[in-house]
Structure 1
């Protein structure tokens, strides 16, 4: 029963050949890709900084050498003419003073911030001060990046790439072999394509459950208390000083006394998203990763709360504790996502104690949503910290998928039963503490998991 390695490990390093082949579509190579190559893994050593013999020169020298050796071995003088021919061609095609003395390459990528699956166009420009021939690019893509199209022009290389999952990805490195006008020598220039921020596509979510106690801040959530809202909850006798437009005329007529409408108070809510990044598992059947689905569901809930003008913060527990204080507005959504784009590079230590959550991260009575696959026992310690501070808590379970088990292997079957038993024990422990557990199925709207919470009271523990 083997788990898929973390996306940052070398075993999952994305290659153009394997990724494009698995998707059923090879990269589209257009233009003049005479020497275009796609290699696996990022280069570790810089290219040679000087001009060196090209492929055409090596072929001519091979022919000349073979002819000269054959003439010496056989004693046939006419073979020397075959050796002299390539030498004459090399002399006639010598680059001379037209060969560039300065070469450089720069690149631009648009856009640098995009969502999953959106194309990123990269243009690499080769600058020089002389005459050049063809350009032969060698492209090494970073992990998580897939090539869609490549074209070679007279002045550079154009690429179209995309990333299938969210994160801060390195686009890769490109080496461009610049040949002289005669094609006899070449020189390599390297350019780092930089990084791109890929945001997750938020899951569909519209429901925003609220806790019993809300902060004294005007918002759009209806409470059970009387206030200056828009929803009528009853009528009461008129008090001198009340506005006449609040008079409820039908009750006033029936009771022969002025009656005033009672409205509910509308308040804004504070929420905090707690992400469990202690582990990242891949479903053996669907190929979905728990970390990908966790952030997609969390961003869907975040966007739903922000649309109601609520405040929402973030805590990511994993190799590195990351947090963002609660805020509101559209910019808060992007700040939250950018703060966790690098969690794939974190290396959680097995068995290490989880750090304490800073006090300012959890506002008083803020509703905490913990998105977790329930695959690591340490998340129970984190949830215990939240309960100690009295915050109402909801656990959203993101299934990590069952481990790959051979159907005829008794050991795998036993391990699979233990896996299910351990997760059920964690659910029972949470429910025993009064913490609701909502199970979210990837691909479905998050509202299906949160709808039962609307029929119950979400309270926190006593401080």
Structure 2
């Protein structure tokens, strides 16, 4: 910071000089009374002069917070003068609410600094600043100002757990929390049978043994895990007419966050494949670390990337893998990709992320009357709904994303199909 004098000091100096010359030239001692306040201000200001300028620090420089929380930005100033007056100003930008609203804080120097609250409206990465800070001494004679560095605020999307079951019809791993149809070490009771050589003593059912007279043991079903692949269609970001409404990218990010957290909690291996380039890929992994990696990747998703026409298809799949296809399903390439994944042997669930109000009759009034954009979106949605009906006829469930309870019915029905009786065909 560079220390400079203020116009108030120059005015006091000029007024004292002019009045002093007039008093001497006109021999008016009464004018000395008028000169006295300016001389006092000059003496006070000169006593406040410091050789070194105050030091300024901003905390934090970079912070990661969950969605919905505010970030306090503290501008601390070294006490160059007692009771210094600090003015901190941050620019107002879209998507970030400031407290105070104008982004300007005026306060005296305190140990914890001058604080302003930053409230991002939704998930993503925001650069707040660069701001400006000015420090003035108590007499208003000296002033130092400098630019504040940018502060990076990364907001992780809300990641509530899905409602419903796991939806895993065919677990493919050997260790996990999904009940399988195979008998072995587990916690779910399959039946009670007589003791055989090699059975563990801790599995003896003493009630049945005492009642029947012969040693009986509990037979259990094994618990296994599976591979979960979340496909994110970010080729297009469909933005409703209402600027504050959620876009298709918002719905996709929140769906991916909720699905990944749900299955990481089951101990499954979760991976993310981006058909576009707004989110990026996440390798398969499990455990709390994988959940943090997914949230960090989602929080860095780039909204400013233009729409991309070239689709990056999914590579090889494991038979029986559970695939969640999060897409607005507007592009023919995305519709073909979800069918291809189903034919590769995966259990595919379509998650419709198109905003609910897009293409509805009530949405026509939000467009300009001299255009036919509202009618065009209605036709586009009708074509898309027909494509969704064809996907359902192929055995691919498609459910619109309306929160954590959106997939409950589909997951419960798929989980029930795992334990349903099967007909064995004879040769």
Q: In structure 1, what is the Cα distance between the partners aligned to 2:417 and 2:91? A: 54
Query: Taking structure 1 as reference, are residues 363 and 130 closer, same or farther at Cα in structure 2, changes over 3 Å only?
Result: farther
Alignment of 1:27-426 (within 5 A): 50-52=2-4, 54=6, 56=8, 92=43, 95=46, 98-109=49-60, 112-127=63-78, 133-141=84-92, 143-149=94-100, 150=105, 152-155=107-110, 156-234=113-191, 239-243=196-200, 245-246=203-204, 261-284=218-241, 287-320=245-278, 322-350=280-308, 352-357=309-314, 359=316, 365-383=320-338, 386-387=341-342, 389-403=344-358, 404-406=363-365, 411-412=372-373, 414-426=375-387
Pairwise CA distance, 1:211: 3.9
Q: In structure 1, what is the Cα distance between the partners aligned to 2:219 and 2:107? A: 72
What runs of 5+ residues in structure 1 fail to find an aligned partner? 1-48, 69-77, 459-463
Q: In structure 1, what is the Cα distance between the partners aligned to 2:214 and 2:122? A: 65
Q: In structure 2, what is the Cα distance between the partners aligned to 1:434 and 1:334? A: 33
Q: In structure 2, what is the Cα distance between the partners aligned to 1:151 and 1:52? A: 19
Pairwise CA distance, 1:335: 0.8
Query: Taking structure 1 as reference, are residues 241 and 180 closer, same or farther at Cα in structure 2, changes over 3 Å only?
Result: closer
Q: In structure 2, what is the Cα distance between the partners aligned to 1:268 and 1:300? A: 18
What runs of 5+ residues in structure 2 fail to find an aligned partner? 20-27, 420-427
Query: Taking structure 1 as reference, are residues 425 and 445 closer, same or farther at Cα in structure 2, changes over 3 Å only?
Result: closer
1:45-82 CA-to-partner distances (Å, cap 9, x unmatched) read xxxx7455646468779999xx99xxxxxxxxx9xx8x
Q: In structure 1, what is the Cα distance between the partners aligned to 2:91 and 2:77? A: 17
User: So what's the TM-score if we normalise by structure 2?
Assistant: 0.75
Q: In structure 2, what is the Cα distance between the partners aligned to 1:225 and 1:154? A: 70
User: So what's the TM-score if we normalise by structure 1?
Assistant: 0.70
Query: Taking structure 1 as reference, are residues 133 and 217 closer, same or farther at Cα in structure 2, changes over 3 Å only?
Result: same
Task: Tell me if 1:435 matches 2:396.
Answer: yes
Pairwise CA distance, 1:91: 5.1
Q: In structure 1, what is the Cα distance between the partners aligned to 2:42 and 2:58? A: 36
Q: In structure 1, what is the Cα distance between the partners aligned to 2:128 and 2:410? A: 36
For the aligned residues, what is the CA RMSD?
Answer: 4.2
Are the equivalent residues in 1 in contact too, given 2:157–2:299 (CA < 8 A)?
A: no
Pairwise CA distance, 1:337: 0.9
Pairwise CA distance, 1:212: 3.9
